[in-house]
């Protein structure tokens, strides 16, 4: 299987993760013009599953290092398989809520709040599980990211002042719940792998390719329950149906699958990089997706169009603190 041996290559993979995790929601924005997010989300989940299978049968099966996908899957212990499955269930619950928040409050709000919270809590949780890197630099970077999240919340509050924003307030609350849940999923996947040795992994533990595949099955199975409930009882709008899903065009379905493929690429690269960078740094860099999503929301989707100078200054500071924070997280891994 393919293994990363260089820290800077691991950082590069994490930057790709950041771009992927911060960009997949653009496909939801595109699909939402004619398509309910509950229906979009089924295609998104199928995209994640497809990418995990493709990567397992290619990068996870070729080469002379480590265990190949089928061999690794056959020797995996039940407790590690269950851990990866739980990671998929937790992620899916969090991401469904995040998708709902995006449809209500927009990318430039839902991502900084939801994924920002996930970054802060997730780095702490993963560092406790495996303390790799300079803790002062790592948590200094996390602190700056936290400031950026607060600046974004202030900018949104100023923009919404004097308007009827009940639905958007609901979106912020859903984002917070999504962020708390999302902070935990990565640790379940990491616990199922031998992070410290992908070349000769411990018996019973899984390689990242196998763990991601099992994780995606957890997402797929839990989606049967979670998304069926949302289709009948959505957070906003009228209930829809599976009949409406199957009436969608090829292009509409492909948009959702593309979103899942993009997220799945980021997830796989991040876990491959975790072997060299450590789970806390790898996860923290990947969740810099918050900044990428905010850039999309502000400059492409114009979600702060017409905002005054005070709001724009706060957004500028938000991006500055994100950049400095992410830089400190990168440097932390070199120590």
> What are the pLDDT digits (tens) for 108-119?
677 778 888 898
Q: How far apart are CA 218 and CA 59, in angstroms?
A: 21
In the DSSP assignment, the letter for residue 202 is: P
Residue 165 has pLDDT above 60, yes or no: no
pLDDT band at 31 (very low <50, low <70, confident <90, very high): confident
Please state, in angstroms and as integers, the Cα–Cα distance from residue 87 to each residue in 149, 154, 211, 318, 335, following that order: 25, 32, 10, 30, 29
Q: How far apart are CA 288 and CA 300, in angstroms?
A: 18
Q: CB–CB of 304/311 below 8 Å? A: yes
pTM: 0.90
Q: How far apart are CA 178 and CA 262, in angstroms?
A: 20
Please state, in angstroms and as integers, the Cα–Cα distance from residue 235 to each residue in 51, 76, 99, 123, following that order: 29, 39, 11, 29
pLDDT band at 166 (very low <50, low <70, confident <90, very high): low
The three-class DSSP label of residue 193 is strand
C-alpha torsion sign, points 252, 48, 2, 23 = positive
- The domain ranges of the chain are 7-332
Q: How far apart are CA 28 and CA 40, in angstroms?
A: 7
Phi-psi group of 67: left, alpha or beta (phi > 0 → left; psi -120 to 50 → alpha; rest → beta): beta
Please state, in angstroms and as integers, the Cα–Cα distance from residue 201 to each residue in 181, 206, 217, following that order: 29, 7, 22
Q: Which helix (H) or strand (E) holds 318?
A: helix 309-332
Burial of 312 (0-12, 13-18, 19+ CB in 10 A): middle
Specify the length of the chain in residues.
335
The three-class DSSP label of residue 62 is coil
pLDDT digit string, tens, across residues 191-226: 999 999 999 999 999 999 999 999 999 999 999 999
C-alpha triplet 77, 271, 171: angle, nearest 5°: 105
The pLDDT, as a whole number, for residue 217 is 98
* 165 against 184, higher pLDDT: 184
pLDDT band at 297 (very low <50, low <70, confident <90, very high): confident
Q: How far apart are CA 98 and CA 92, in angstroms?
A: 10
What is the Rg, in whole angstroms, of the alpha carbon atoms belonging to the chain?
19
Query: Which residue's structure tokens are 């100023």?
Result: 158
* Helical segments of 192-305, H only: 208-232, 242-246, 250-277, 279-286, 289-295
What does the longest C-alpha to C-alpha distance in the chain come to?
A: 63
């Amino acid at each position: 299987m393919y293994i990363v041996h260089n820290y800077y290559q691991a950082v590069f993979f994490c930057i790709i993760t950041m771009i992927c995790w911060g960009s997949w929601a653009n496909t939801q924005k595109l699909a939402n013009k004619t398509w309910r997010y509950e229906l979009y989300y089924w295609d998104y989940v199928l995209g994640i599953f497809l990418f995990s299978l493709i990567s397992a049968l290619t990068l996870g099966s070729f080469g002379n290092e480590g265990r190949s996908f089928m061999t690794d899957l056959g020797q995996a212990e039940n407790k590690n398989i269950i851990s990866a499955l739980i990671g998929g269930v937790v992620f899916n619950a969090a991401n469904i809520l995040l998708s709902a928040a995006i449809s209500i409050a927009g990318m430039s709000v839902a991502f900084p709040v939801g994924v920002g919270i996930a970054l802060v809590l997730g780095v702490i949780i993963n560092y406790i599980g495996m303390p790799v890197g300079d803790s002062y630099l790592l948590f200094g970077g996390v602190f700056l990211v936290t400031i950026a999240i607060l600046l974004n919340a202030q900018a949104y509050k100023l923009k919404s002042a004097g308007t009827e924003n009940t639905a958007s307030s609901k979106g912020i609350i859903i984002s917070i719940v999504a962020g708390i849940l999302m902070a935990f999923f990565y640790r379940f996947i990491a616990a199922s792998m031998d992070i410290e040795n992908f070349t000769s992994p411990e018996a019973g533990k899984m390689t990242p390719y196998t763990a991601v595949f099992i994780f995606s099955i957890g997402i797929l199975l839990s989606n049967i329950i979670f998304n069926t409930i949302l289709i009948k009882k959505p957070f906003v709008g009228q209930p829809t149906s599976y009949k409406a899903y199957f009436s969608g065009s090829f292009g509409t379905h492909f948009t959702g699958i593309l979103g899942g493929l993009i997220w799945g690429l980021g997830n796989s690269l991040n876990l491959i990089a975790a072997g060299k960078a450590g789970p806390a740094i790898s996860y923290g860099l990947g969740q810099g997706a918050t900044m990428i999503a905010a850039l999309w929301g502000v400059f492409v989707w114009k979600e702060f169009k017409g905002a005054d100078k005070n709001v724009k200054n706060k957004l500028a500071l938000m991006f500055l603190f994100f950049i400095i924070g992410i830089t400190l997280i990168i440097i932390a891994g070199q120590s």
